[in-house]
Structure 1
Amino acid sequence: MNAIDYKQFYNTVGRMNGWDFSRLNVTVEGSAWNFYDEVTSLCKPGDILLDIGTGGGESLLSITDSALLLIGIDQSKGMMETAANNLKKSGRSNVRFLQMEASQLQFPPDFFNMISCRHSEFYAGEAARVLASDGVFLTQQVSEHDKMNLKQAFGRGQAWEGEKGELKTRYISELKEAGFSRIQALEYNATEYYQTAEDLVFLLKYTPIVPDFGQNEMDFQILRQFIEEHQTEKGIRTNSERFMIIARK
Structure 2
Amino acid sequence: MNDKQFSSFLKQADEPFVGWDFSFISETGRMKSELLSWSYGSIATSLVQSAKSMLDMGTGGGEFLSKLRPFPTSVYATEGYLPNVPIAKERLTPLGVKVVQISNDENLPFETGKFDLIINQHESFSSKEVRRIISKEGIFLTQQVGGLDCIEINENLRVPINKDFIDWNLKKALNEIQENHFEVLKSAEEFPIQRFYDIGALVYYLKAISWQVPGFEISNFKDELYTIHKIIEQKGYFDAKQHRFIILAKAV
Larger Rg: 2
What residue is the counterpart of 2:53 in the other structure?
48
1:160 is displaced (CA, Å) by 5.2
- After superposition, the Cα gap between the structure-2 partners of 1:59 and 1:232, relative to the gap in structure 1 and judged at 3 Å, is farther
Letter of the aligned partner of 1:21 in structure 2? F
What is the 5 A alignment of 1:3-18?
A: 17-18=18-19
1:140 is displaced (CA, Å) by 1.3
Of the structure 1 ranges 172-181 and 38-47, higher mean CA displacement relative to structure 2 is found in 38-47
Please tell me whether residue 81 in structure 1 is matched to residue 73 in structure 2.
Answer: no
- DSSP-derived class of the 1:217 partner: helix
1:209 corresponds to which of 212, 217, 234: 212
1:107 corresponds to which of 105, 110, 134: 110
Distance in structure 1 (CA, Å) of the matches to 2:233 and 2:249? 39
Which aligned runs of 4 or more in structure 1 are off by greater than 6 angstroms? none
Number of residue pairs matched by the alignment:
230
2:229 corresponds to which of 202, 227, 247: 227
- After superposition, the Cα gap between the structure-2 partners of 1:231 and 1:178, relative to the gap in structure 1 and judged at 3 Å, is farther
What residue is the counterpart of 2:11 in the other structure?
none
Distance in structure 2 (CA, Å) of the matches to 1:231 and 1:243? 32
Distance in structure 2 (CA, Å) of the matches to 1:47 and 1:220? 52
Distance in structure 1 (CA, Å) of the matches to 2:88 and 2:54? 16
Of the structure 1 ranges 115-124 and 176-185, higher mean CA displacement relative to structure 2 is found in 176-185
- After superposition, the Cα gap between the structure-2 partners of 1:75 and 1:30, relative to the gap in structure 1 and judged at 3 Å, is closer
1:97 corresponds to which of 96, 99, 111: 99
What residue is the counterpart of 2:131 in the other structure?
128
Of the structure 1 ranges 226-235 and 239-248, higher mean CA displacement relative to structure 2 is found in 226-235
Letter of the aligned partner of 2:24 in structure 1? R
Q: Output the TM-score relative to the length of structure 1.
A: 0.81
Instruction: Tell me if the contact between 2:57 and 2:77 (Cα under 8 Å) persists in the aligned partners.
Output: yes
- After superposition, the Cα gap between the structure-2 partners of 1:233 and 1:173, relative to the gap in structure 1 and judged at 3 Å, is same
- After superposition, the Cα gap between the structure-2 partners of 1:190 and 1:23, relative to the gap in structure 1 and judged at 3 Å, is same
1:241 is displaced (CA, Å) by 1.7
Distance in structure 2 (CA, Å) of the matches to 1:231 and 1:86? 40
Q: CA RMSD in A?
A: 2.5
- DSSP-derived class of the 1:65 partner: coil
Identical aligned pairs, as a percentage?
24
Q: Output the TM-score relative to the length of structure 2.
A: 0.80
Distance in structure 1 (CA, Å) of the matches to 2:238 and 2:73? 41
Q: Unpaired segments of 5 or more residues in structure 1?
A: 1-14
1:115 is displaced (CA, Å) by 0.7
What residue is the counterpart of 1:173 in the other structure?
175
- After superposition, the Cα gap between the structure-2 partners of 1:232 and 1:128, relative to the gap in structure 1 and judged at 3 Å, is farther
Distance in structure 1 (CA, Å) of the matches to 2:161 and 2:66? 28
- After superposition, the Cα gap between the structure-2 partners of 1:143 and 1:232, relative to the gap in structure 1 and judged at 3 Å, is farther
Q: Unpaired segments of 5 or more residues in structure 2?
A: 1-15
What residue is the counterpart of 2:23 in the other structure?
22
